[in-house]
Amino acid sequence: MVSPSTQTKFNYGRFVNDLEVDGSQTVAGTLAVTGGTTLSTPLTSGNVDPSLIQTADVVLTPAQIKTLYSAPTQIIAAPGAGKSIVLLDALARFTYTTPQYTGGGAVQLQYDSTVHAGGTTPLAVLPAATVNAAASSDTQLQDSSLAVVVTQNKGIYASAATADFATGTVSTLEFFVHYYIK
């Protein structure tokens, strides 16, 4: 057990006080362990407390971008009965390669796969002009400053308002999303 004076702080002020590894968990990447302890098996997402901050990194292909209005793309899977996804923030990274997109509408991260950006969105939206631009960019999407009713067991999807995008054939849109499950 880690004492309160030496607990490990994670993003957004969350703490892990007790960390036990019994040999059945595995870690992807690097985990620093002091005191000569060695982990020989990886820690999987199924072994992590879902209330800890998690990150989703999803790259939308040109085909997915061009159909965001008519066919929203899943970013985070539904968490299961009685659970909700709480979005904290997201970074939208648009990587431009000619030809540029045209048309479309504001892109939002929303609960559920409702078409035409009809789902509830807890974060600010990405203007269509960002996706239609002839330049790469990063846009921070933060709290929409609205009281958001979250429906349990709904995934997070990217969707566009107004219309589908057209023309673009190479540029991508990547979402880095911070969230936790409650």
Q: What is the pLDDT of residue 37?
A: 56
Mean pLDDT, to the nearest integer, of 84-110? 96
Which is higher by pLDDT, 43 or 111? Answer: 111
Mean pLDDT, to the nearest integer, of 34-46? 62
Instruction: Provide the pairing of β-strand 8-9 with 15-16.
Output: antiparallel
Query: Could you tell me the pTM of the whole model?
Result: 0.76
Q: Structural domains in the chain? A: 1-48 (no CATH), 50-181 (2.60.120)
Q: What is the pLDDT of residue 49?
A: 81
Which is higher by pLDDT, 162 or 39? Answer: 162
User: How open is the CA angle 117-123-127, to the nearest 5 degrees?
Assistant: 60
pLDDT band at 39 (very low <50, low <70, confident <90, very high): low
Mean pLDDT of the chain: 83
Rounded-to-integer distance, Cα 138 and Cα 155, Å: 24
Q: pLDDT tens for residues 14-28?
A: 334 344 444 444 555
Q: What is the pLDDT of residue 45?
A: 63
Q: What is the pLDDT of residue 157?
A: 98
Q: What is the pLDDT of residue 169?
A: 92
Q: What is the DSSP string of 68-86?
A: TTTS-EEEE----TT--EE
